[in-house]
Structure 1
């Protein structure tokens, strides 16, 4: 059976949906988790054979109304509905027009103005492209690390600072779940990206938590949330952050926010007075 990103997504989402969630009884005759193919087909208003061909990778280019019906049947969120359409009608995206180092001049200027709190820019695979001095301290000096470790997913799932905290990896409302969903959403048009495949393989080999979240086939843009960490030099355990999408394709700006008087605020204030952390402007590191 030929497997495609679309068929894998449909199977994963069907199996993760409990019958009770769509008003169906849960009986003893159910031997596999989730809905049956026939039940999804009925809810989507299509034939069971047609839906089976989609899950088996034997049906090409389903129409928009068919995809919308399947999205309703699987209770997909708006971002996941858009992801479903992109999987079904994917085309290789045009490369974004950016500066030679991957970060535009305006983005670097914006980052340089954020001098009171950690902030950094990530690329489509959440590689760390640029960061200010406070973020450099928070992320344990990414410039000194191997290229594959200059990645936010690695920081959350493999670096001891973030990987030790289970709160970062829960299936819902965690930075890990959001980043994994964002990785899928940003690469729906090009799932055969070799660098993406290598990144997923590396993270899956090093982190069971990442592998489990990747297998859920969630998709959606990264959102604001919280990062839990155990940092040897920082007196902060939980940090709030917000995320802004940038004009350059697939790039995001992560900014960490600390309420006045909080432990995190004190931590950031100490970073500002640290001579090594304050030296220089925002660094820009190409993906390598």
Structure 2
């Protein structure tokens, strides 16, 4: 019989927590819930280790060692099978990956785009401040009316292409409202790489970077510098022919209800910019492009 391959011991406390966590999740599931006979000789509540292994399609020895907190390899695919068998919710699944020291794959699309009602209320009540909800990769998930007025070219694209970084680097100069792009572009790429470093093993992120490098020579050039910077407020100036320049400061607020998501709010830095945002919000046609590419 092939024994599970061990790896160097790392994070002993974490492995101990992993063992306790798996045991507690296993013991809360009854055999009847998974279509197994309950039997009369069970000494512990819930499922047995061999039953979890059988349902997850993994070796009994491997699962036993995992639950004992031994330093063995665990792949994302196998952890997913264990998570499904133990009926873990999104938070528990993330916790499992963290304790097993395995990079977590992105959540399913429906989880990523599920918008709690309170977030919709917050976005609407921030108006007339432009605000949007973005995920870690900067996909734009939802927005308010003021944001739509400032960025019609972004919100009116198909959902699969609705990405703030993609918008910055692929929008033609005639339609790109960012006035201080030369200053902002390096910072945007450095912050994006900071987030990217947490998703190195995720194919969706790798494919996105490859596509953007092909679509934008400027992004490819900046990406090759390997500059990195933590997220921070940014000064962004937009120019709209109908009103002139709009100076803002963008602030990112983490949304704990949606792991990886953040609320981006654009605050005008002066009264003139505030009045211009309000006017554009009431006249959204003024920022709509008058031509197509």
Q: TM-score range by the shorter chain?
A: 0.5 to 0.7
- Report the alpha carbon displacement of residue 107 of structure 1 after superposing the two structures with TM: 2.4
Structure 1 pair 113–165 and aligned structure 2 pair: CA distance change class (3 A): closer
Larger radius of gyration: 2
**Residue 238 of structure 2 corresponds to residue 225 of structure 1:** no
**Residue 268 of structure 2 corresponds to residue 258 of structure 1:** yes
Q: Secondary structure at the match of 1:229?
A: strand
Does structure 2 retain, via aligned residues, the 8 Å contact 1:90–1:188? no
TM-score, normalised on structure 1? Answer: 0.54
- Report the alpha carbon displacement of residue 269 of structure 1 after superposing the two structures with TM: 1.8
1:158-212 alpha-carbon deviations (Å, 9 max, x no partner) = 2136758673244xxx3x3333233322232431322212221222122222112
2:134 to 122, 130, 134: 122
Does structure 2 retain, via aligned residues, the 8 Å contact 1:178–1:223? no
TM-score, normalised on structure 2? Answer: 0.53
* Worse-matched range after superposition: 266-275 or 132-141: 266-275
- Structure 2: distance between partners of 1:165 and 1:269: 18
- Structure 2: distance between partners of 1:202 and 1:233: 33
Highest RCO, 1 vs 2 (Cα 8 Å, sep ≥ 6)? 1
Q: Secondary structure at the match of 1:241?
A: strand
- Structure 2: distance between partners of 1:143 and 1:164: 14
**For the aligned residues, what is the CA RMSD?**
3.2
1:257-276 alpha-carbon deviations (Å, 9 max, x no partner) = 114532x2121121343388
- Structural mapping, 1:138-153, within 5 Å: 138-153=150-165
Does structure 2 retain, via aligned residues, the 8 Å contact 1:228–1:237? yes
Does structure 2 retain, via aligned residues, the 8 Å contact 1:178–1:221? no
- Structural mapping, 1:206-217, within 5 Å: 206-217=215-226
Structure 1 pair 261–230 and aligned structure 2 pair: CA distance change class (3 A): closer
* Worse-matched range after superposition: 268-277 or 200-209: 268-277
**How many pairs align?**
184
Q: Secondary structure at the match of 1:93?
A: coil
